[in-house]
């Protein structure tokens, strides 16, 4: 099946599939200039992360590794099918009440793209509290599926996906957490009749007064007059019967939307409150919310698009929209939504700029160098940019030379794929994917071949948090910084599709997909089909304590050698004209050695420390610098 990504631009008329992506034109001025975005940024308020560089907090790549900052990384799955979502991240990581974990992803066990991945389906792995199961080699379903979304029902996981055979939602329920036995149900039905509407790319949540109401939304793919809208489905008895099926809710029908992309929506449920966000490149962004378990709904327009039901009959250029340099800002289609303790919705999406240079030519333009994650919440009703590409060299320039250096994820922002979750204490966490500003020396050496493109900016997963219900946000943590360290790791690694688990207490659980080439095989640059890793991270919430001050990562400021070492380290702090403290911190976060520095260079004896990985922190009254240290 070739319809792996769907872009609808004209009401029920124009559908651009994966094969037609080159018809979505990149603006000429981005094609002709050598440096398309190397411009001095004077207004840093719209680029909040262009204020600092970032320290290496991420883990190093191994099957399972624990690091000095307490992060534990483990590879828990593989897939040759690398498209986990067309837009928004599904809920794929389920933390059970007993702290065991279920994780799902779209997997294919072998490189059989020529046969259109016939073994594609849900990959599933389970953590019993002490260890993950063996990496699975086969899908859990009996037929080809994709796009799993997981929730908990009767203390066991239930998974929705879509069937490629009949283009309907499939339901798979676990018999027992410790076994590989599953039961399958082909589709939702009402009064004994199966749904007549094709539904694809589903989202699943469980709530209700007794915890047995299943809420599901999905894309009404290829359904005539109701094509490319979002259908709502509900079961009040855990899937035994369905009282709402194929419902296009008031305010979301054809009179309001020409169409919605696959996966351009996200949902959250808390008790009897159900909320989902939807929108597209040329549509309003809308919040649909129910406080009576999905019976009645209210509609809130989060972002009012200036063109009603755009269908390629309106020019958007420098003349018609001079105040915005000829473009319109809107979503790139990737959303996340979380409900707080008061059931207020918090919405995130990637930002993208669009224009339309000609009428009725079945083309429109997007600007792939657009940057920023947008944030809106139901209490303040305000929109803001909360994160963007990190200025690693702190020159106030986004150092991207041309559009060819941006790997293809469709019309995706430089910072995209947001995924959010609230912690038990009310803190709000957000993961997202963002490009790395610089090209590594290894990339330049590898270059581009006929089928492998290394001269593109890699994407990494990042994590930020808010302790005041979204008013302010922390600096991002690069979750792949150490694995891609050019000195100690392998910089040729791409990380995308990060998903945060539903339960956050002392730890954040997160998974993402990783491989060695920028971009995607399925819908992107047509790189070779490779084995992608599904990576699980267990991140202590205290990791953010390391980044509460400005962190510098320049070897010119702080040099430490030898590393690894058995007996001692030499520390050089260039231009040291004030007192500094050296602290060595173990895996438990305890200071095991300290020393006061008054000179530019000093020596510390660490012979008595146990072998392992430590953090060495240098602190002055104006800055803090951190390095990882290996004690042999």
8 Cβ neighbours under 8 A, 6+ residues apart? 14, 15, 16, 228, 258, 259, 260, 261, 280
User: Lowest mean pLDDT: which of 19-28, 84-93, 176-185, 241-250?
Assistant: 19-28
Angstrom CA distances, 590 to 271, 558, 597, stand at 40, 22, 20
pLDDT in tens, 414-430: 999 999 999 999 999 99
| Nearest Cα residue to 368 out of 316, 407, 418 | 407
Asked if residue 75 has pLDDT above 90, the reply is yes
pLDDT at 167: 85
Helix (H) or strand (E) holding 441: helix 441-446
User: Lowest mean pLDDT: which of 293-307, 352-366, 417-431, 576-590?
Assistant: 576-590
Comparing 441 with 1, the larger pLDDT belongs to 441
pLDDT at 621: 62
Per-residue pLDDT band for 6 (boundaries 50, 70, 90) equals very low
Distance CA 99, CA 508 (A): 12
pLDDT at 365: 92
Sign of CA dihedral 456, 409, 122, 432: positive
Most confident of 169-173, 363-367, 500-504: 500-504
Classify strands 101-107 and 558-561 as parallel, antiparallel or unpaired.
unpaired
Per-residue pLDDT band for 452 (boundaries 50, 70, 90) equals confident
| Nearest Cα residue to 195 out of 215, 169, 216, 176 | 169
pLDDT at 419: 98
Per-residue pLDDT band for 54 (boundaries 50, 70, 90) equals very low
- State the average pLDDT over residues 243-272: 95
Angstrom CA distances, 331 to 320, 349, 393, 508, stand at 20, 6, 28, 27
Tell me the two tokens of residue 357.
């240079």
pLDDT at 63: 61
CATH class, 552-631 region: mainly beta
DSSP state of 487: T
Distance CA 318, CA 307 (A): 16
Exposure string (b/e) for 331-368, b if CB count within 10 Å is 16 or more?
A: bbbbbbbbbbeebbbbbbbbbbbbbbbeeeeebbbbbb
Asked if residue 615 has pLDDT above 90, the reply is no
| Nearest Cα residue to 494 out of 483, 504, 486, 505 | 483
pTM of the shown model = 0.80
- State the average pLDDT over residues 352-356: 94
Domain ranges in the chain are 7-155+172-548, 552-631
Sign of CA dihedral 183, 173, 175, 238: negative
Sign of CA dihedral 262, 170, 287, 243: positive
Asked if residue 494 has pLDDT above 60, the reply is yes
Tell me the two tokens of residue 591.
């200071």
Only one residue has tokens 């333009």, namely 365
User: Lowest mean pLDDT: which of 81-90, 139-148, 198-207, 354-363?
Assistant: 354-363
Asked if residue 223 has pLDDT above 50, the reply is yes
pLDDT in tens, 522-563: 987 778 899 999 999 999 998 887 543 333 333 446 778 888
- State the average pLDDT over residues 84-106: 96
Distance CA 75, CA 67 (A): 15
Per-residue pLDDT band for 249 (boundaries 50, 70, 90) equals very high
Comparing 195 with 508, the larger pLDDT belongs to 508
pLDDT in tens, 558-592: 778 888 888 899 888 765 556 788 888 875 667 88
Q: Is-contact 147 155, C-beta < 8 A?
A: no
Only one residue has tokens 């953090």, namely 615
Asked if residue 22 has pLDDT above 50, the reply is no
Per-residue pLDDT band for 340 (boundaries 50, 70, 90) equals very high
- State the average pLDDT over residues 8-13: 23
Comparing 191 with 241, the larger pLDDT belongs to 241
pLDDT at 58: 45
Q: Is-contact 422 340, C-beta < 8 A?
A: yes
């Amino acid at each position: 099946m070739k319809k792996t990504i769907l872009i609808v631009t004209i009401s029920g008329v124009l559908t651009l599939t994966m094969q037609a992506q080159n018809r979505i034109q990149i603006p000429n001025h981005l094609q002709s200039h050598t440096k398309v975005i190397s411009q001095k940024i004077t207004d840093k308020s719209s680029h909040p992360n262009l204020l600092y560089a970032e320290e290496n907090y991420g883990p190093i790549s191994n099957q399972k590794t624990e690091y000095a900052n307490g992060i534990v990384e483990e590879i828990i799955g593989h897939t040759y099918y690398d498209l986990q979502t067309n837009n928004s991240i599904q809920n794929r990581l389920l933390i059970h009440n007993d702290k065991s974990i279920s994780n799902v992803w779209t997997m294919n066990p072998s490189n059989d793209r020529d046969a259109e991945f016939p073994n594609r389906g849900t990959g599933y792995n389970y953590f019993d509290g002490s260890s993950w199961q063996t990496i699975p080699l086969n899908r859990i379903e009996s037929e080809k599926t994709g796009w799993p979304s997981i929730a908990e029902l009767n203390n066991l996981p239930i998974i929705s996906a879509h069937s490629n055979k009949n283009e309907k939602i499939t339901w798979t329920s676990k018999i027992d957490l410790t076994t590989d036995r599953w039961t399958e149900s082909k589709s939702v039905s009402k009064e004994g009749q199966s749904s007549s509407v094709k539904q694809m790319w589903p989202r699943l949540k469980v709530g209700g007064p007794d915890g047995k109401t299943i809420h599901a939304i999905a894309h009404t793919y290829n359904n005539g007059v109701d094509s490319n809208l979002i259908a709502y489905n509900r079961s009040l008895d855990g899937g035994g019967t369905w009282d709402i099926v194929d419902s296009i809710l008031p305010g979301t029908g054809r009179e309001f939307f020409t169409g919605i992309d696959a996966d351009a929506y996200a949902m959250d449920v808390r008790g009897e409150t159900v909320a989902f966000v939807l929108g597209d490149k040329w549509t309003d962004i809308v919040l649909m919310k129910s406080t009576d378990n999905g019976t009645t709904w209210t509609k809130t327009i989060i972002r009012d698009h200036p063109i009603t039901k755009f269908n390629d009959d309106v020019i958007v250029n420098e003349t018609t929209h001079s105040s915005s340099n000829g473009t319109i800002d809107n979503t790139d289609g990737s959303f996340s939504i979380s409900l707080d303790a008061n059931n207020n919705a918090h919405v995130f999406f990637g930002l993208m700029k669009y224009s339309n240079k000609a009428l009725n030519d079945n083309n429109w333009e997007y600007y792939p160098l657009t940057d920023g994650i947008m944030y809106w919440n139901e209490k303040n009703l305000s929109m803001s940019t909360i994160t963007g590409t990190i200025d690693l060299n702190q020159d106030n320039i986004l150092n991207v030379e041309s559009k060819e250096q941006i790997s293809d994820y469709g019309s995706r922002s430089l910072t995209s794929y947001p995924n959010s979750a609230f912690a038990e204490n009310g803190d709000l966490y957000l993961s997202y994917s963002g490009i790395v500003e610089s090209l590594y020396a290894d990339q330049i050496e590898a270059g581009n071949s006929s089928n492998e493109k290394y001269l593109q900016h890699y994407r990494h997963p990042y994590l930020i948090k808010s302790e005041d219900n979204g008013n302010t946000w922390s600096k991002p943590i690069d979750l792949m910084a150490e694995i891609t360290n050019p000195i100690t790791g392998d910089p040729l690694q791409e990380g995308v599709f990060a998903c945060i688990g539903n339960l956050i207490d002392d730890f954040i659980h997160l998974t993402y997909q990783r491989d060695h080439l920028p971009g995607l095989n399925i819908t992107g640059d047509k790189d070779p089909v490779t084995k992608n890793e599904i990576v699980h991270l267990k991140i202590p919430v205290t990791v953010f304590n390391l980044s509460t001050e400005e962190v510098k990562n320049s070897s010119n400021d702080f040099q430490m050698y030898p590393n690894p070492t058995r007996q001692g380290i030499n520390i050089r702090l260039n231009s040291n004209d004030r007192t500094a403290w050296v602290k060595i911190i173990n895996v438990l976060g305890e200071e095991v050695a300290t020393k006061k520095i008054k000179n530019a260079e000093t020596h510390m004896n660490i012979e008595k420390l146990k072998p392992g990985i430590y953090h060495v922190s240098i602190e002055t009254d104006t800055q803090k610098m951190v390095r990882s240290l290996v004690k042999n």
